[in-house]
Amino acid sequence: MKYSFTFFFILCLNALAQDLNYENPIIKGSYPDPSICRVGDDFYIVNSSFEYYPGLPIHHSKDLVNWELVGYGLHREKQCTGKMNLTDVQYNGGIHAPSIRYHDGKFHIITTNVYSPAEEEPSEMINFIITSEKIEGPWSDPYIIEGAPGIDPDIIFDNGKIWYVGTHVPDDPNFNGEGEIWLQELDSTNWSLIGERYFLWRGALHYGTWAEGPHIYKRNGYYYLLIAEGGTSLNHAVMVAVSDNIKGPYVPNDRNPILTSRHLSYGHWVNSIGHGDLIELEDGRWYMVFLGIRSEIDTYSNMGRETHLIPVTWEKEPFEWKYDNIEKDWSKLPEHERFEKLRRVNYEWPVCSPITGRVERSYSLPYPDHPQYYHDPFKDDFDNENLSLEWNFRRVPNKNTYEINSDNGVLRLFSSKNVIKDRQSSSLLGIRQKKSQFEFLVKMIFDTDEREVQSGISLFQKDDNYFTYTIERHNRGYLLKLILKEKNSEPVIIKDKILSSYNGSIIFKVVSDKMNYGFYYSLDESKKFTFLTKTGPNKILSKGYTGAYCGLYSTTNGKEIQEHADYDWVMLK
């Protein structure tokens, strides 16, 4: 009886802890560069998607801690096959750092497609905007904003005008990597830049590289310019400056950076934090979303850059005697003199994670009556005629890549002659890995008389870093094969095995823990799983802009033949 009571008490404590706190990251898996907006009591986040399609994933929440994927800004092939090209985009290219805003009954997403026309040619920065009256879409075709250099644009609606907030490398940089934030009016009738361009800020710190990811907020009559600085790695940071005029000059906060992990041990649980966006709640409280990387193996993780949330307060320095009030005649002063006057004003500044000043794993819930729930395992039985929103392709898929027979609950993946390779689409689709310890199970039905046709699953990070775990014809039987492709190396067979009792159906199973990836299979409907081999957990670490996926894969390895594999169900838990 004593042990039963203790167990019940522990359960109650766990439930209470869940009721009072939320855990970071709030959106797990490869969801970097978050931008957030609020419409009434609804919150929306959009993230970068780089070379993946559909692009610009959008989540919805009522409480800031429970998020549902509700759609994509780029959800039609037509949106991605023109000048805004995701058909043959290079890896680590594609959709960078969007910003989402709501104005006059319409959602706006502005972002950059970084596209290299050919190897060794300079990348093009295709800045564009899409709009929709409903968050689920349909979203408009991209409106290309001509003459807008740089990446990571933002828009702000102010006093009847729309302003484009951009980045670029200045003509006269003081050091390599220096960036600059600029501002120019947008004409909403054709989304073109008009009027004078204003240069706002080159960042807070001397040699503070890559001033980017700008957002401007108007609060109590002042304009706050929030930027990322230091590059999206271990020195990443959030900086802020303020002005009484949207055109500047902007006065930096003496306490910059207002958020970073650069000063902490590399063993701190999260690193590379930055690229923030602020949001005000209906009751006047503020929060910030930003990206961070879980420090799991040498500061890396498979999931890469994920979306986190922290509380924010606003404070003035308490020594009022040090400061002056803004005077109207300052507006007539030369900019340098006006800047020096504005430095003597005691502004309110955002204070991130005010209790500790660093990003913690858990915080008190924004809404105490809305606990954070942990999502059930992902399961797809393919009983819907449309793919689940969780599925992504690397680039716009080729025509007739797959079909779903929802009556039978089967996804048929047609084998592509293409293998996994930069700048081309293959028959490969996946769902994001969201935690380090997981099980990935897939039932496949596959039969072929053709040699070199491979069908199965893939764990993939990039075009040059992946596992394929497949079956292929071998003499009169079938061969199970595990291949690893590591960056700057040729694909290597880790293990293969003749399946003498294969009867056309297999269940693949991958088990990940902190020490290993274990590869298993079953030929008898999961009654028994046979161990094939294991590898270290560090083979597909995220060392770029995106994280790992668990997916399905089929190829003819260059042969122009008609082949396919059928998938009965997929589970990630």
By annotation, the residues acting in catalysis are 33, 212
Q: How far is CA 487 from the centre of its chain?
A: 22
Q: What is the DSSP string of 157-221?
A: EETTEEEEEEEE--SS-SSTT--EEEEEEEETTTTEEEEEEEEEE--SSTT----EEEEEEEETT
CA distance 47 to 437: 24
DSSP label at 329? G
Q: How far is CA 211 from the centre of its chain?
A: 19
CA distance 359 to 261: 8
Decide: 290 and 312 in contact? Cβ < 8 Å.
Answer: no
Query: Cα dihedral sign for 479, 485, 491, 495?
Result: negative
- The amino acid occupying position 549 is Y
| Residue keyed to tokens 């073109």 | 192
- The SS3 call for residue 335 is helix
CA distance 263 to 253: 18
Closest to 531 measured CA to CA, from 548, 518, 512, 540: 518
* Burial category of 281 from C-beta neighbours within 10 Å (exposed 0-12, middle 13-18, buried 19 and up): middle
CA distance 25 to 563: 41
Other Cβ atoms within 10 Å of 570 Cβ, number: 26
Pairing, β 212-219 against β 465-474: unpaired
CA distance 430 to 391: 5
Q: Nearest 5°: CA angle at 335, between 330 and 336? A: 105
